[in-house]
Amino acid sequence: MILQSRDRDILRKCYEQQFLLMEHVSRYYYQAKSMRESYRRVQELEAAGLIRREEIPVLGGKKLIRLTKLGVATAQENRTTEVPQGKRLDLTTLSHDSMVTHVRLRLEQLWDGEWFPERFLMQLPKLTQVADGLFRFPNGNHVAIELENSAKGHERFKTILSNHARQQCVLV
């Protein structure tokens, strides 16, 4: 199978985010095309042994796209940053993680820069507050991305914001 640049980007995003949903692939990589084409390409990537699809009841039976060992190796080609891969997904944060991926993919359509996922940021020793993601612009500025889908008290939000401010991040 000859991988297109779009295929490599799908594999890279799946590597960095730990999974993708079909709706991520269809919406952000096949916007002007039919759903059928995105499903066909995902099936081809699966047949090539790069990805596997898993049905997850927590998300209403939606299928997750995960990388195989070959897919991980392919996604890591020419990468300078390594993102630790979890063997199992945390079902309690799956909905949140899916929303973070939507936010990331949308911001990448709007902004020129580089995304660093939470699992990468957790490896950095100096961070006191780990964001869901960090967007770095070519000029060196950073934006910490925090997505909250659970109720948190006012004081907890102030603590999160002040921790990010000490790390010189603009907040979204």
Residue 66, C-beta contacts closer than 8 angstroms, at least 6 positions apart: 14, 18, 19, 51, 52, 53, 54
pLDDT (0 to 100) of residue 39: 92
Enumerate the domain spans of the chain: 1-85, 111-172
Buried b (16+ CB within 10 A) or exposed e, 96-125: ebbebbebbbebbeeeebebbbbbbbeeee
pLDDT (0 to 100) of residue 164: 62
- Quick one: what percent of the chain has pLDDT higher than 90? 50
**pLDDT digit string (tens) for 30-57?**
986 778 999 999 999 999 999 999 988 8
**Residue 127 pLDDT greater than 50, yes or no:** yes
Mean pLDDT across 129-152: 84
pLDDT (0 to 100) of residue 172: 44
Strands (E), 9-111: 20-21, 51-55, 63-67
Mean pLDDT across 144-166: 71
**pLDDT digit string (tens) for 79-125?**
767 888 887 888 888 989 999 999 999 999 999 999 999 988 888 77
pLDDT (0 to 100) of residue 89: 87
Strands (E), 97-140: 114-117, 133-136
Tell me the residue type at 169.
C
pLDDT (0 to 100) of residue 46: 98
Q: How many CB atoms lie within 10 A of CB 8?
A: 14
Domain 1-85 part of CATH 1.10.1060.10: no
